[in-house]
Amino acid sequence: MAIATAMEQDIKRVLVSEEQIREKVAELGAKISADYGDKKLLVLGVLKGSFVFMADLVRQISVPCEMEFMAVSSYHAGVKTSGVVKIIKDIDINPQDYHILIVEDILDSGLTLSYLKTMLLQRGATDIRIATLLDKPSRRKANIRADYCGFEVPDAFVVGYGLDYAEQYRSLPYVGELKPEVYEK
C-alpha cells in the first residue's frame, strides 16, 4: 500500500488528483515553451511550497532556461499583514535582462507575489510572469493574477504536492483538503 496512508487519514477529500496534475503540468509546460521561445528565461521557484510543481514543470519546458530559488516570509507588523516580504534566501544572480517566470504553489492573498514582482522589476528584470499550481481567487488582496494557472480551488486549507500544514503533507502526490479538526486541535 501507499506510504501516504498515515497522512491520508487527515485528508477530507482529494481536490486535484495525480492524473489531473500530470495532464495540467504538461499543458502548462507546452504553453510556456511556446510563449518564451528563445527569450532569456529564468524559472524562479518560491520555496518551499513550489518545489514539487517546479520539478515537474521544468521537465515539461522544452526551451532552455536557468533556475533559481527564493525563500521568503511575510512580515507581520502588529496584527496586520503589511504585504512586506522578508527575503530569507535571495537569488544568486543579477536578474537584469531576464524574462522571469515565478513559480508558486498557491496564489492566495497575492501579497507575496505582488511584492516579489515589484522588487524584481526594480532590479532590472525585463519581464515577470507567474505560474501557479493553485489559485484561490476569493482570497485576493493584491491586484495580481497568474499568467499560467493549474487549478482554481475553493477557500479551504489545502495540502499536498508541495503544500504544507505545519511542514507536514508536502509529499502527498495529490492536492487534498485538510480536515478542519487537524488544524483546529
In 3D space, the residue among 123, 114, 127 whose CA is nearest the CA of residue 74 turns out to be 114
From candidates 104, 120, 172, 174, binder to ligand IMP by CB under 6 A: 104
Backbone φ and ψ of 121, nearest 5°: -70, -40
Q: Locate 130 and state its grid cell.
A: 507567474
Q: Does 110 help bind ligand IMP (rule: CB under 6 A)? A: yes
Q: Does 106 help bind ligand IMP (rule: CB under 6 A)? A: yes
108 catalytic per annotation: yes
Q: How far apart are CA 4 and CA 172, in angstroms?
A: 6
Q: Does 49 help bind Mg ion (rule: CB under 5 A)? A: yes
User: Which run of H or E residues covers position 182?
Assistant: helix 180-184
Residue 33 beta carbon to ligand IMP: minimum distance, rounded to whole angstroms: 24
Binding residues with Mg ion: total (CB under 5 A): 1
From candidates 101, 158, 172, 175, binder to ligand IMP by CB under 6 A: 158
Judged by beta carbon distances under 5 to 8 A according to partner kind, the member of Mg ion, ligand IMP, none in contact with residue 101 is none
109-148 positions binding Mg ion, by CB under 5 A: none
Q: Locate 107 and state its grid cell.
A: 496564489
The angle that helices 51-58 and 18-36 make with each other, rounded to 10 degrees, is: 60
> What are the catalytic residues?
108
Residues that bind ligand IMP (CB under 6 A): 49, 104-112, 157-159, 163
